[in-house]
Amino acid sequence: MTVLVTTALQQTWPKDGQEIFFLGEWCKKHNCKQSWAKLSWSCCEYHWNDRSKLYSDYQLIQSIFERILNDLSKILNNIHSVNYSVRYWRIVVGPWLNYFIGILFDRWKMLNSVAIRPESFECNILEREFGELTPYDMNHFNSLYVDDDWNEGIYAELLINYFSDSINLKKVKQEKKNIEQYTERSSMAVRVKSKVLSYLDYSKNRKSQQGQYVFQGLSRATSLSLQCKLRQRPKFWHSHELDQVEPIEASRQWSILNNVEISPFEKIARAMVVNHIPSLYLEGYLPAVSKIKSLDLPQRPELVFTTNGYSSDEFFKLWCADSIDSGSRLVIAQHGGHYGSGLFSATEEHEIKISDKYLTWGWTSAKSDKTLAVGNLNESVKPVKYNKDGRALIIGMGIPRYSYRMYAIPVANQWLDYFEEQSQFVTALGENVLNQLVVRPYNKDYGWNMTSRWRARHPSVVIDKGQKSIRSMMSQ
């Protein structure tokens, strides 16, 4: 019987030379090629290699997200004895929920493509305890969905609950692993700077702060300049740490299934949200809100401005959502590329939906009158000095081996196609250019072993280690 392998975790691979069917290219790490190359294997075709299907699935996922968000908002209001709007919960839980539904759809689709095949399959899955896959918050979730272990757990949960009739499952005890509490510890210099600047944060002003403008995500210089022009006493935003609370099984006995006729996948998504929603939004919600209220932050400021606090800054999101629900206006400025140019983007849609005005780098949207073309607000951007005798530079792109958020870029194993095209480009270069070429791989490897691939394919090309800024390299 063929063994289905869902991830790169070799603990779930067969030990007796059985035929292997890899669920995707993410299973075959380049640095483990000596292990899997000698095995008898084949690999499943990735369903989103059909880009038109990716776009139509995106639209379907967004409609499912909206329905679940509406129902989940009511449940969270009831659980926490509050009465917030859907917009409040969209700001707080929306980024995680949108990611999670898209991720889950992809994992379910891949398993379904195996289940309908005529062959017989078995799959080894790891035994797990309750809450092992549940994130504390969005930052924690960002570290999980790129990880082989978390993805194996998601595949296993789907297999147990929805595919056990078509795929024979065998549970495997997990090898002991060092489990460290999740933390994002900053460097000493960053912590000292944060401590000094905390004396200028918004919570230090004990006077009435209604009518203030609150700025988050701008450079200190830009924020200072804007506040001086607004004749506002300068203050800087400082997000405080929130406690990490463990998920409690007894707190997750509710359901968001309803009597309305829905698709099989939507039923699955609604069922799995219950145990996977980050503990901050459930068990840790009231302690987090209590801490924020104790800090005497501005209440109902006239305007809240952010560039990057809308996704993973839970402290800011909780405070911001409450302020917006109380009447403050939210302005978001574009942070990063792809916005306004890609065919679709869940993040772009989310930012525009939660904001009152959305400031772009130069584009406007026919779909929304909220967008304003104002340019890049980063005052530190200076023209790059071109060196006509300098070197040629390729700056690499990187994405996780597993799909994550929904937007129009290469997805999952399609990074390999991207790398192949880059390699073909380099091969076509003349020797005079090739001798001057520097390749800078993406700063996160995601298990692709990018540097090793470049060196194996083009041993003479100089590989930059990422110690210099990209702008300084562009000047060389």
Predicted pLDDT of residue 198? 56
Distance CA 155, CA 161 (A): 10
Least confident of 122-131, 217-226, 271-280, 404-413: 217-226
CA–CA–CA angle 162, 163, 164 (5° rounding): 105
Secondary structure (3-state) at 303: strand
The first and second tokens of residue 193, run together, are: 């700077």
Is the pLDDT at 127 greater than 50, yes or no? yes
**Cα diameter, the chain:** 74
Residue of higher predicted confidence among 410 and 232:
410
Residue 432 CA to residue 185 CA, distance in Å, equals: 45
Using alpha carbons only, how large is the chain's radius of gyration in Å?
A: 24
pLDDT of residue 233: 86
pLDDT at 20 over 60: yes
Which residue did the predictor score with more confidence, 465 or 124? Answer: 124
Backbone torsions φ then ψ of 332, nearest 5 degrees = -115, 135
Residue 178: its pLDDT value, please?
54
pLDDT for 187-198, tens place per residue? 566 566 555 555
pLDDT tens figures, 267-301: 999 999 999 999 999 999 999 999 999 998 998 89
Q: Quick one: pLDDT at residue 208?
A: 47
**Confidence class of residue 206 from pLDDT cuts 50, 70 and 90?**
very low
* Amino acid at position 315, single letter: F
* Paired tokens of 330: 């939210």
Q: What is the DSSP letter of 281?
A: G
Q: Which residue has the higher pLDDT, 474 or 61?
A: 61
Across 74-100, average pLDDT: 98
Which distant-in-sequence residues (6+ apart) come within 8 Å of 24 by Cβ? 43, 44, 46, 110, 412, 413
Residue 329 host element (H or E): strand 329-333
- Kindly state the average pLDDT of the residues 125-143: 96
Tokens representing residue 81 in the block: 């004895």
Tally the C-alpha atoms within 13 A of residue 49's C-alpha that lie toward its C-beta. Answer: 13
What are the Cα distances from residue 164, in Å, to 4, 155, 393?
A: 13, 12, 50
Q: How buried is residue 14: exposed, middle or buried, by Cβ count under 10 Å (0-12/13-18/19+)?
A: middle
Q: Which residues, in sequence order, are bridge partners of residue 44?
A: none
Please report the pLDDT score of residue 200 as a whole number: 59
Asked which of 172-186, 358-372, 378-392 is least confident by mean pLDDT, the reply is 172-186
**Which pLDDT score is estimated for 465?**
87
**What pLDDT does 226 receive?**
85
Residue 223: the pLDDT is: 86
Q: What is the pLDDT, as a whole number, of residue 11?
A: 94
What CA–CA distance (Å, rounded) separates 133 from 213?
39
Q: With H, G, I as helix, E, B as strand and everything else as coil, classify residue 439.
A: strand
Model confidence at 141: pLDDT above 50: yes
pLDDT of residue 345 exceeding 70, the answer is yes
Placement of tokens 């460097």 in the chain: 187
